[in-house]
Structure 1
Amino acid sequence: MKRLVQKTIKPFLPMQQLLKAGGLTFFFRIGGLGLNFLITKIITGQYGEAVFGNYGLAFTIAQATGILFALGFPNAIITYIGLKPIHDSYSQYILRKGLTVLAPLTLLPLLAYFFGAAFISQEIFNKPGLYNYILIAAFTVPAMILHEFLLYFFIATGNNLKFNIFMFGVPNAILLLLLLCVQNVPGHYSFLFYAASVIVTLAIESFFAFKQTARHEQKILTARQMISFASPMMFSGIMLYLLNWTDTFMLGALVSEEELGHYNLAYKIASLSMLVIISMNVVLAPRVAALFNSGDLTELHKTVRKTTHIIIALTTPLALGIIVLSDFLLSFFGHGFTGGKEALIIITVGFWLNALTGNVDQVLNMTGNQKILQNITIFGFIANVALNLALIPRYGINGSAMASVFTNILFNVTCLLYVKKKLGFYTFA
C-alpha cells in the first residue's frame, strides 16, 4: 500500500517542490518590494522628484553595466551546476573559477565611470546633477557584478532561502536603515546608501557561499571555455535588460528629470504585475536545465506548461488591481506623480501580455538555445530604440510606454515560436 501511494504521488512531487520554492521567492519578493516602495517613498519625500529621477537613471546605468561585465556567468553557472549541493567540490570549483575571471574585469567599469563621470553626465545625458551619481556608480558596479554572481550560485545549488534573503532582505534593510538614520544630506547620498547596501551584502553572502571541500578531480574548465559558453547569455542578458530599460535611458536624454521620475515610479509600480513570473523563473530555470540535460523533454514540457498556467492565473488579478488602483498607488508617493497614470496602465498591460507566454526566454536559455535568444534580443532592442525615437517626441513618457509594450509583444511571440520549433511545444499548451 505504501509503495502504491508513493508511486501515485511521485509524478506530482517535482511540481510541488517547484511551487514551494516559487512561493517562497514570491513572498520574499513581496516583502522586498514593500521595503523598496518604502525606500522610494522616503527618497521622493526627502529629496524630491528630480533626485528620484537621477537615482533611477544611475541605478539603471549601473545595472546594465553589471550585466555586461558579468559576461553571462550568472546564467551559465545554473547550467554548469544543475542543482548540485553547495558543498559539492564541482560547485565550489565553478564558484571560484567564475570569480577568478570576473573579479579583475570589474576594474574596467570602475575606471570608466570614475574618469568619465563628467562626460557621461553632461555630454550624454545633459544632466550636470548626475555627476556625483556616476562617480558613486564606479564603485557600485563591481560589487553588483559579484553580488549577482553569488545570487545565481545560490539558485544553481538549490539554496533558494539564501538567494531570497540576500536578494530581497539584507540589501533593502541596510538601505532603509541608512536613509532613516542619515538625513539632511545632499540628494546623491541616496545612491551612496544603495552602494553601501550592496557592498555590505556582498561581504555577508560570501561567508555563506564559500565552503571547504575536497579537491575537485573532474575535467578542468578553462576561462576561455567558460567565456565562450556564457557569452551568448551575456549578450542576450544585456539586450534583454536594455529591451526593458531603453525607455529610461532615452527618456533620460529627452525629457526633464521630473518626467523621468514620473516614469520611473510608474514602471516600478507596474513591475508588481511581474511578481509571479519572476518568482517562478528563479526556480524554473535550474529545473529546466536539469530536465533538458537528462533528455526528459516530456517532463520538461509538462513542467513548463503547468508553470505558465499558474503564472497566467496569478498575474491577471495582479495586473487588473494595479490598473484599477492606479490613481491611488501613484498619489501615495505625491500628487505630482499622478501624471504617470497613463504610462502605468500601458506598461502594466504589456507585462500582463508577457505573462501569457510564460518564461519563454529562460526556456531557450536553459536548453542550449542561448544564441537564438541572443539574436532575438538584439532584434528586439533595435526595434525598441526605433519605436522610442518615433514615439517619445510626440507622446512623451506615454510614447515610451507604448514602445515598450509593442517590443515586448514582438519579443515574446518570437521566443514562443522558437520554443515550438526547437523543443516541439508551446509553453501554454
Structure 2
Amino acid sequence: MESGYVTTPFGRRPMSLGMLASQQLAETIEPGMKRNKWKLFRAICEARPALGVTDRALTVLDALLTFYPDDEISEEKGLIVFPSNAQLSLRARGMTPATLRRHLAVLVESGLILRKDSPNGKRYARRDRAGAIGEAFGFSIAPLLARAAEIESLAAQTVADRELLRATRERLTVCRRDISKLISVALDEAIPGDWETFTMMFRALVARLPRVATTESLAPLLDEMVLLRDEAVNLLERHVKRQKTDANESQIERHKQNSNPNSTYELEPSFDTKQGEKAATINEGMAEPPDERRVRPPMPSAGTGNKTSGAADPESGPSLKSFPLGLVLQACPQILDYGPGGAIGNWRDLMSAAVIVRSMLGVSPSAYEEACLGMGPENAATVIACILEKGGHINSPGGYLRDLTRRTERGEFAIGPMLMALVRASGPTARHVG
C-alpha cells in the first residue's frame, strides 16, 4: 500500500477492525507482483458468492477499474483511482449517487477496495513538475492485488462445483428418463415383477427433489435412482434371458406328458376358489384358474411336433424380493395371533408363526420346504400369512402354495400385488374376509 500507515475514513464514517485488517493485508503485496485487471475481475465475478458481494457492487468495481490507466495492476504504476462521483456514476451505467455510495461501502466491507480519503474528503492527485503522480486520494485497489491468489483459487473452485452440479443434474435427468421408460415397457409388455412398488418408489424419489438443487442434495438421490434403475434392468434382462432359453428348449425338446394320471402334486389336492370370488381373486394376483396350473401349453415349432421347455431357467433363481415386515403385518394382521406371545417383532417371529399356521392349514412339510427354496424363507412365510388372511377363498392351501412356488420359478408370480390387494381389503371401508 502506498501510504505505509493506517488511514481512517473521512467524515462520519467510522473506522472498523475489518478496514484495519484490509489495510494490513494490502501491505503484504509481494514485490513485482502483477495481474491483468480484467482477468482478475472475471475471477471475482466467478467467486462472487464466496466473496459476499452483489452483482451491482461488481458493476461499481468494473467502473472503478476503467479509471486505472493500464491493463496490468502493479505497485510500480500506483494503486489509487480517484474519479468523482459524477464520472463514476456515468461509467456505472447511470447509477444514482445514493446507490453508488451504498455499493462502494459493500466493496470496502468485503475487503476488495480501500478508502484513502484526503483531509477534506475530496478525491484528487498531486503531481510533480514532470507530471507524475506524487500522492493520490481516492480508492485503493491494493487488496485486489494482495488477494489475487485467493480470488483465483475461489474462482477455480466455484467453476469446478458448478461443473459437478451440471454433470449431476444431467445424470439424474437421464436416470429419471430411464426408470420411467423401463417401467412403462414392463407394464406394456406385462413382464412379471412388482412394478407397482417400483412406480411408488420412483415417485417418492422424484418428490424428494429439492427446488434449489445443490450437489450435496442431489448426490444421494442420484445414488438411490441408479440402484432402482439397475434393479429394473436386471429384472428385464432376466426376462429376456428366460425367453431366449424357452425358445431354444422348444426347438430341441419334445413335449412330455405325464402317463400316470394319478400322479398329481404329491400329497396336495387340487385347489380352487369359491364361486363368485374366482375372477376377483385372479384380478388381484392371488391365483390362476385351476386348469392353467397343470401343464404349460405346448409351443409349436416349424418342422417338428408340439414342444415345450417344461422347466424354468436354472440360473435365474427366485426373482421375488422381500417386502418390509410392517407392510406384511399391515396386510395380514391375523398372523399376529400365532407369533411368540401373540406378537411379531422380526422376521424370525414371522417364520415361526408361519410354521404353526402351515400345520393348521394342512400344508404338507414338503410343500412348505419347496416354497422356502423357491421363494426364500421370508417370502414363503409372507405367502403363508396371505393364505391365512384369504383362507376363506382357498379350498386347498397346500396345492395353492405349490402352484405359487412353480409360478415363482417361472418368473410369473410377484408378492407385491397380493399384499397391495390385502392392504386395500383391510381398509376401513372394506369388508373383512376371514
Scaled to the shorter chain, the TM-score interval is under 0.3
User: More strand per residue: 1 or 2?
Assistant: 2
Larger RCO, structures 1/2 (Cα 8 Å, 6+ apart): 1
TM-score, normalising length: structure 2: 0.22
Structure with higher helix content? 1
